[in-house]
């Protein structure tokens, strides 16, 4: 049967049978499609991360502005109202921390899913573990 000559990493010549040549080309094509998909996912992930960073920055600005306004308002209130305002500020900070933690957990879950999908895709493309 006819075939193509191929070279391995040690520059040894191998003859790839014609029927295996098509299969090898399909594997290379699948790997290229997988790489394109990963690059697209990476770009999308970068955009999502940028949006999350932008949202975090906006939230931090709003939080700082709210704390500043709360501080100005508290100066005109009684001591008890001042203490209540401090308590609400702390609660808002804790809620912000909670939301930030939820966002971080969500990001880790997305990352773990990507890792699992990548491993699955590599296994499907190249076989084995």
pTM (two decimals): 0.38
Question: What average pLDDT score do residues 67-89 get?
Answer: 76
Output the six-digit token pair for 4. Answer: 């193509």
Identify any residues that bridge with 7 across adjacent strands, giving them in sequence order. Answer: 13
What pLDDT sits at residue 57?
A: 92
- The pLDDT confidence band at residue 1, using thresholds 50, 70 and 90, is very low
Question: Could you give the CA distance from residue 84 to residue 73 in angstroms, rounded to a whole number?
Answer: 12
Question: Could you give the CA distance from residue 20 to residue 14 in angstroms, rounded to a whole number?
Answer: 12
Output the six-digit token pair for 17. Answer: 């049978």
- The pLDDT confidence band at residue 62, using thresholds 50, 70 and 90, is very high
What pLDDT sits at residue 81?
A: 74
**Residue partners of 88: CB distance under 8 A and separation at least 6:** 70
Q: Which of 38-47, 69-78, 115-124 has the lowest mean pLDDT?
A: 69-78
How many residues in total does the chain contain?
Answer: 129
Q: List the domain boundaries for the chain.
A: 3-126
């Amino acid at each position: 049967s006819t075939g193509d000559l191929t070279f391995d990493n040690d520059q040894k010549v191998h003859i790839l049978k014609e029927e295996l040549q098509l299969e090898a080309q399909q594997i290379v094509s699948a790997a290229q499609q997988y790489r394109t998909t990963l690059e697209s996912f990476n770009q999308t992930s970068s955009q999502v991360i940028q949006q999350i960073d932008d949202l975090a920055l906006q939230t931090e600005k709003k939080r700082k502005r709210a704390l500043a306004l709360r501080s100005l308002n508290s100066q005109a209130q009684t001591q008890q109202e001042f203490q209540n305002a401090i308590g609400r500020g702390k609660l808002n900070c804790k809620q912000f921390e909670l939301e930030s933690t939820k966002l971080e957990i969500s990001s880790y879950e997305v990352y773990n899913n990507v890792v699992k999908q990548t491993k699955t895709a590599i296994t499907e493309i190249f076989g084995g573990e």
